[in-house]
Amino acid sequence: MNKVLIIFAAIVMAFATTGCNTFEGMGRDIESAGESIQKM
């Protein structure tokens, strides 16, 4: 469980630092990261 949370946090930070210019864009990035974690 902790491993998944660490991976999720790393993905969120990666998306945040790559330049989401709007909150809507960041929301889409977080949603896609969550979906990729669910597929694991």
Domain boundaries, the chain: 2-38
Q: What is the pTM of this model?
A: 0.42
In this prediction, residue 15 carries a pLDDT of 74
How far apart are the C-alpha atoms of 10 and 18, rounded to whole Å? 12
37's CB contacts (< 8 A; 6+ apart) are 4, 7, 8, 11
Contact 30, 11 (CB under 8 A): no
In this prediction, residue 6 carries a pLDDT of 85
> CB under 8 Å, gap of 24 or more: what pairs does 23-29 form?
none
Per-residue pLDDT tens over the stretch 1-40: 678 888 888 887 777 776 555 666 777 878 888 888 777 7
Contact 39, 10 (CB under 8 A): no
